[in-house]
Structure 1
Amino acid sequence: MRTARTLTRLDEVGTGDHVCQLLGPADDVMDRSRAFVADGALFGDKVVIVGPAAETAASEFAPMVLDPARLGGSLLAAVRREAASAGREGFRSLRVLHHVTPDGSATRPEELLRSELDLEEFAADSGALVVCAYSSGDWGASTLEKVRCVHPHHLGSRPASPAFQVYRTGKDGWTVNGVIDAEGAPAFAAILRTLLARSRTVRLCCEALDFFDAAGMSALADAAGHLPDRKVVLEGTNETVRLAWELSGFATPVVPVVMTP
């Protein structure tokens, strides 16, 4: 069972992990990710670096390099191909270091969020090890907050885990944990809209959801009704959340949201 956790070092990354590594403006991504790449040889994993070719091709570990701007397709399709070939070639798994830059294939915030949710699903379903490295100097705070919410694993005590997380659990569902309040509501709405664009029914396990305020509930209702014939099912909600949903006036047939204990 996958669980959210904070790592202190990249050599703690395990199979199925999807890690958000936030770097300082002066940090070198290859220098900071050396342990993760080197452990590929130790554990028998196929290593793939996704990032600008000029920056990554000189890696002393000589892994395969994929330039997002030259993929000719989606990043998800590319890593799936590499995972399939890794299995045929006798590797234990696929180990992906994704250096995410603004000039990559996902340039708009909604594209970036969709790409990260794709990678989250891929890591969970395939057992691949995926580290997404972001430089705080390249991205705005709002964008970083959204992408951090869809990584169940984070590197180090800084930054702390976001207020809530949405991550893959099982073949047909997602877990949401933490606190969704006015500050996190826009990110939660963006994540839900992205998931609903991919599936008519989105199932969220909410047993670890601690608090859901009026802004969060409004974001849920708006996102659920964003596209026709969509539905959000929240499973494992506590009595307080269900009562607040009803008292807020959202528990109507017009709002395509179902909450269950």
Structure 2
Amino acid sequence: MTRQGGERQVQDMGHGDHLCLAFADDAEQRRVVTAYLAAGLQRGERVLYFADLNEPGQVLGWLEAAGADPGAALGRGQLTVTTADDSYLAAGSFDADTMVATLQQEVHDALAAGWNGLRVSGEMGWALRGVPGAEQLGAYETKVNAVFAGRPALAICQYDARRFGTAQLHEFDRRHPGAVELDALYSDAALRLVPAFRAGQRALRVVGTVDYRTTEALAGVLETVLGWPGDVWVDMSALEFIDLAGMRALARAAERLPAGRRMHVVELAPMLCQVVSVIGWDEHPSLTVSAGEGPA
């Protein structure tokens, strides 16, 4: 699924953004969150962080390791790192409208205090604890869009794909106007290979051109992707060109999947789907190729 707002690298975020961050390992989360928070401090914004699985001290440690000075930011009131229990669940339960009102007030207060805007991020794993009101999270994500749209404020909502189910990830992701793009597994002037999530499934997004210069890079990244659990999804919606050697690399990677797992190559140009069919690569039981979004 290609969303209206698309994916955006964290360094390209600006005021008005409300993006979803789905991640599958701690290093991914730390890289994105640290860059996001540090940028807010550097730009003179008020920064709020709502921790859940991580302790507030860990988050402050990320900033310190990145060369920021969280102690000074805390002292001047620019930075607050608190917990989900003291923010989303401050009343002992979750109420979407109350939290929306709280964020609206935070935007007002940040500007009144002379900061250049408000930057927020929250770990959303608290919703899996069975707390009262957690069923309002989807509605909250939709309502909170209005807090940030067109205003000097921005937010990242964090969803750990190891804890949230596929359907849950898809539901919460689609409530956001856009998503954070994770760090590329490979990037040069012609090709970027980026881990992503589509319909709640972990996927590899192929952006640019696969030819004699980049086929080896694609084959190498596919080796990494084969190590992900479950089926392999390869999103070709941003592909500009792929030659036969590139298609062969996909087919060979699919052939190495163990029984019961499949590679789904989706949103491939119809002409290329025909080429795959003519050659017979799609006859292998572990490979499916589709011009559309493919099976959900």
TM range (shorter): 0.5 to 0.7
Question: Which residue identity does 1:66 align to in structure 2?
Answer: T
List per-residue Cα deviations over 1:25-71 (Å, max 9, x = no partner).
44463443111101112222110001239612441335202322233
Question: Judging changes above 3 Å, is the alpha-carbon distance between structure 1 residues 106 and 90 closer, same or farther for their aligned structure 2 residues?
Answer: farther
Deviation at 1:98, TM superposition (A): 1.3
Matched, 1:23 2:48: no
List per-residue Cα deviations over 1:191-238 (Å, max 9, x = no partner).
xxxxxxxxxxxxxxxxxxxxxxxxxxxxxxxxxxxxxxxxxxxxxxxx
Question: Which residue identity does 1:33 align to in structure 2?
Answer: V
Q: Distance in 2 between matches of 1:106 and 1:42?
A: 37
Question: Which residue identity does 2:195 align to in structure 1?
Answer: R
Q: Is the 8 A contact 2:100 2:143 kept in 1?
A: yes
Q: Which runs of 4+ in 1 moved over 4 A?
A: 103-109, 160-163
- 2:120 corresponding residue in structure 1: 96
Q: Is the 8 A contact 1:6 1:153 kept in 2?
A: yes
Q: Distance in 1 between matches of 2:118 and 2:104?
A: 9
Structure 2 unaligned runs (5+)? Answer: 65-69, 92-97, 182-193, 201-296
Deviation at 1:109, TM superposition (A): 6.2
Question: Which residue identity does 1:36 align to in structure 2?
Answer: Y
Deviation at 1:6, TM superposition (A): 1.2
Q: Is the 8 A contact 2:16 2:153 kept in 1?
A: yes
- 1:247 corresponding residue in structure 2: none
Q: How does 1:156-235 map to 2 (within 5 A)?
A: 156=181, 157-160=194-197
Matched, 1:6 2:16: no
- 1:234 corresponding residue in structure 2: none
Q: Distance in 1 between matches of 2:16 and 2:49?
A: 17
Q: Is the 8 A contact 1:102 1:138 kept in 2?
A: no
Question: Judging changes above 3 Å, is the alpha-carbon distance between structure 1 residues 136 and 161 closer, same or farther for their aligned structure 2 residues?
Answer: closer
Larger radius of gyration: 2
Secondary structure of the 1:138 match is coil
Question: Judging changes above 3 Å, is the alpha-carbon distance between structure 1 residues 112 and 82 closer, same or farther for their aligned structure 2 residues?
Answer: same
Question: Judging changes above 3 Å, is the alpha-carbon distance between structure 1 residues 129 and 90 closer, same or farther for their aligned structure 2 residues?
Answer: same
Secondary structure of the 1:22 match is strand
- TM-score of the superposition, structure 1-length normalised? 0.53
Secondary structure of the 1:95 match is strand
Bigger mean CA offset, 42-51 vs 63-72: 63-72
Q: Distance in 1 between matches of 2:103 and 2:130?
A: 15
Deviation at 1:75, TM superposition (A): 2.6
- 1:44 corresponding residue in structure 2: 44
Question: Which residue identity does 2:180 align to in structure 1?
Answer: L
Q: Is the 8 A contact 2:24 2:161 kept in 1?
A: yes
- 2:258 corresponding residue in structure 1: none
- 2:285 corresponding residue in structure 1: none
List per-residue Cα deviations over 1:98-121 (Å, max 9, x = no partner).
111135798566311022113222
List per-residue Cα deviations over 1:153-180 (Å, max 9, x = no partner).
11224325659xxxxxxxxxxxxxxxxx
Secondary structure of the 1:112 match is helix
Question: Which residue identity does 1:158 align to in structure 2?
Answer: P
Q: Distance in 1 between matches of 2:114 and 2:103?
A: 16
Matched, 1:149 2:186: no
Q: Is the 8 A contact 2:22 2:159 kept in 1?
A: yes
Question: Judging changes above 3 Å, is the alpha-carbon distance between structure 1 residues 79 and 18 closer, same or farther for their aligned structure 2 residues?
Answer: same
- 2:99 corresponding residue in structure 1: 75
Query: Number of residue pairs matched?
Result: 160
Question: Which residue identity does 2:42 align to in structure 1?
Answer: L
Q: Distance in 2 between matches of 1:105 and 1:36?
A: 27
Q: Distance in 1 between matches of 2:128 and 2:99?
A: 10
Structure 1 unaligned runs (5+)? Answer: 164-261
Q: Is the 8 A contact 1:106 1:112 kept in 2?
A: no
Q: Is the 8 A contact 2:18 2:155 kept in 1?
A: yes
Q: Distance in 1 between matches of 2:52 and 2:85?
A: 8
- Sequence identity percentage: 20
Question: Which residue identity does 1:29 align to in structure 2?
Answer: Q
Q: Is the 8 A contact 1:6 1:161 kept in 2?
A: no
